[in-house]
Amino acid sequence: MSHDTLTPAPPVAGRQSGRLAGFGTALGSWDAAIVAGLVAAVLVASAAVPNFATGRNAQFLLLDLVPLALLALPMTLIIVTGEIDLSVASMVGLCSSLMGQLWLSSGLSLELICVLVVLLGALLGAVNGVFVTGFGLPSLAVTIGTLALYRGLSFVVLGDQAVADFPADWTAAVVRPIPGTSIPVMVVPVLLLALVFGVVLHATPAGRALYAMGNNSEAATFAGVSVARTKFWLFVASGAVCGLAGLFWTLRYASARGDNATGLELTVVTAVLLGGVSIFGGRGRLLGVVAGVLLLGVVRNALQLADVDANALTIVTGTLLIASVVLPNAVRDIRARLHRRRQHTRVTAP
């Protein structure tokens, strides 16, 4: 009789263990959580904020997200390796200033100026890379320094003036929607670039090496990964993409200024961490980052339409930045506890 009473216990324990495992898996899917948050934010904003769910607003929202998405792509790879680049917004500003100065005084064609601006961005990224990988300095300290340096140089190049006489066909091209839609044509190259970065990160040996560097740089070196060279080229790629973002920013607003993109670095880092990339390196996926960019853009856009003060937008961005660091770690702790409880249940079950 006693034996009959106890025999149902293992299936119950197994069912409980299965539920815990399923719950832990659901908690661990940060990408799914961000996508769900994005859907919820769109639905709430569409219902509560006037003019949010209009084609015109969707077009402006996506245009606002183009530079953010561009900068988030290389930033994702850099943070995955355990580094960071806080100078991205200043590089955008300096590239914009150079574009304005060359157009104002050099007599060069705009096509050639665009090439030179991207090359400048790559050079600025290379300077960061040399200090980080060549001299072994912390990327946080280096890029805080170049954040100030590049922003100062942007005003040296152009001063306080603004250059706004760019060709109308160029400025119209970057904001033009795809025929029959409200989607700006600039979204297409951003998606193609995101696909390239995604393939590199998730489907190539180079991408696996990036995760290895973020988890243990010394072990990656012993495994044959050229850590310094890889990180150097990541900073170069970040700078080149900043050049592209500078071109877009200048043409979108038809204005080259030294203060273009001021403060954007905080938003970029927030979007990347919100997308599930660990600030300590070694974790994160590009799908989550894309969702994080969209979620952050939707929240900021909805608050702007609701006439929320600009200072409040900064508070929201800062809050999301803190949450994006704390919540993933909390989720991992919960998963670890559920896993230990599940293992304990299996060991103690009769």
- Interhelix angle 310-348/264-274, rounded to 10 degrees, is 20
Distances (CA, A) of 172 to 38, 175, 281: 30, 6, 40
Tell me the average confidence (pLDDT) per consecutive run of 10 residues in the chain, 350 residues long.
41 42 48 92 96 95 97 98 98 97 94 98 98 97 98 94 94 95 95 97 96 95 95 98 98 96 94 93 94 95 91 86 81 78 72
Q: What is the largest CA-CA distance in the chain?
A: 98
Query: What is the reported pTM?
Result: 0.88
Which residues, at least 6 apart from 84, have a Cβ–Cβ distance to it below 8 Å? Answer: 75, 78, 139, 140, 143, 269, 279
Q: How many other β-carbons are positioned within 10 Å of the β-carbon of residue 303?
A: 17
Domain-wise residue ranges, the chain: 67-262
Per-residue confidence (pLDDT) for residue 5, from 0 to 100: 40
CA distance 84 to 93: 19
Task: Quote the DSSP letter at residue 216.
Answer: -
Per-residue confidence (pLDDT) for residue 349, from 0 to 100: 64
Per-residue confidence (pLDDT) for residue 327, from 0 to 100: 79
DSSP class per residue in 251-302? HHHT-B-TTTTTTHHHHHHHHHHHTT--TTSS---HHHHHHHHHHHHHHHHH
CA distance 248 to 268: 16
CA distance 235 to 343: 43
Per-residue confidence (pLDDT) for residue 350, from 0 to 100: 62
Sign of CA dihedral 167, 169, 170, 176: positive
Closest C-alpha among 253, 263, 259, 245 to residue 158: 259
CA distance 90 to 317: 19
Task: Quote the DSSP letter at residue 132.
Answer: I
Residue 312 CB-density burial (10 A; 0-12 exposed, 13-18 middle, 19+ buried) = exposed
CA distance 211 to 226: 13
**Are the C-beta atoms of 58 and 187 separated by less than 8 Å?**
no
Distances (CA, A) of 225 to 203, 208, 221, 281: 17, 10, 5, 16
Task: Quote the DSSP letter at residue 176.
Answer: P
Q: Which residue reads 């007599």 in tokens?
A: 107
CA distance 60 to 134: 41
Point out which residues pair with 256 in neighbouring strands: 163
